[in-house]
Amino acid sequence: MDAFRKRYGDDPDVCHHPAIRNTEACFQSSALAVRLAQEFGSRLHILHITTEKELQLFEDKPMNEKHITSEVTVSHLLFCDDDYSTLGSRIKCNPSIKTKSDRDALRKAITTNMIDTIGTDHAPHLLSEKQGGAFKAVSGMPMIQFSLVNMLELAEQGVLTIEQVVEKMCHAPARLFQIEQRGFIRPDYKADLVLIHPDKPWKVCQENILSKCQWSPMEGHTFKAKVEKTFVNGHLVYDDGRVDADYRGAMLTFNR
Ligand SMILES: [Zn+2]
């Protein structure tokens, strides 16, 4: 037990989280939802696909030809169960982080039409709430600040192309939810833009985490790409470390 505690720190049992919330539970619940959608002809979008096994529930064809679609989160594309030993409850989320082969299958699925969109599942819990391992620590992690740079890093590693990052994170969500005037750089669309420096290495530390929760599973990680500016509705809200906290966004509108 001591060696175990040494390895997993204060979260000696968090590595069991994927055994508690396991592959079979994920498959059965996703399969039930798909079965009901097929039976009643409903439009269905399943979030947070985490296992290779669930991929058999989806079809590799263009999104507009399907009425059952799916999403994977940045966290499930990044982490696998090996990471519980170093990150403990920080990467505890629901559905749980699964095996490396699940992660690799998900990475492959985003290069096809099997998985349609990539989400952030941003959950900025306090670090104090993330204590206590599999049974007590709350689930979820703050990922929104690091979602794009992580995906660009996967693109750099050859997991997918930059065009696929844009497709799965911007174009497809806008089309899927029929969001008006967003998700594309087009005349008459809202200018939601991000300016990236592709080669400006920076290390994640407490001081540059913008979420109020002040921690990240990415702490200590060095990214090559850096967000320099972010525009929301054409308004510069983030400029090289400074956030315009006075600016408020606008409610999304839909074409439906
Ligand atoms: Zn979620």
Residue type, 179: I
Distance 160 CA to ligand 1 centre (A): 23
Distance 6 CA to ligand 1 centre (A): 30
Q: Give the pLDDT means over successive 10-residue stretches in the chain (256 positions).
A: 48 86 97 98 98 98 97 98 92 96 98 98 93 89 97 98 98 98 97 98 96 94 98 97 93 95
Residue in the structure block whose two tokens are 């039976």: 39
Residues 72 and 51: beta-carbon distance below 8 Å: no
Distance 3 CA to ligand 1 centre (A): 33
Looking at the structure of the chain, the number of domains it has is 1
Structural domain contains residue 6: yes
Distance 158 CA to ligand 1 centre (A): 27
Structural domain contains residue 249: no
The pLDDT value recorded for residue 9 is: 53
Distance 47 CA to ligand 1 centre (A): 7
Structural domain contains residue 253: no
The pLDDT value recorded for residue 60 is: 97
Tally of CB atoms within 10 A around 205: 12
Q: Which residues contact 255 (CB under 8 A, 6 or more apart)?
A: 178, 179, 180
Q: How many Å is the maximal CA-CA distance in the chain?
A: 62
Structural domain contains residue 250: no
Distance 71 CA to ligand 1 centre (A): 11
Structural domain contains residue 213: yes
Structural domain contains residue 248: no
Distance 120 CA to ligand 1 centre (A): 8
For 4, the token pair is: 């175990």
Q: Does pTM surpass 0.85?
A: yes
Structural domain contains residue 251: no
Distance 97 CA to ligand 1 centre (A): 12
Distance 200 CA to ligand 1 centre (A): 31
CATH number, domain at 87? 3.20.20.140
Complete DSSP assignment for 45-96: EE-----TGGGGGS--S-GGG-SEEEEEEHHHHH--GGGHHHHGGGG--SSP
Structural domain boundaries enclosing 109: 2-243
Structural domain contains residue 15: yes
Distance 187 CA to ligand 1 centre (A): 33
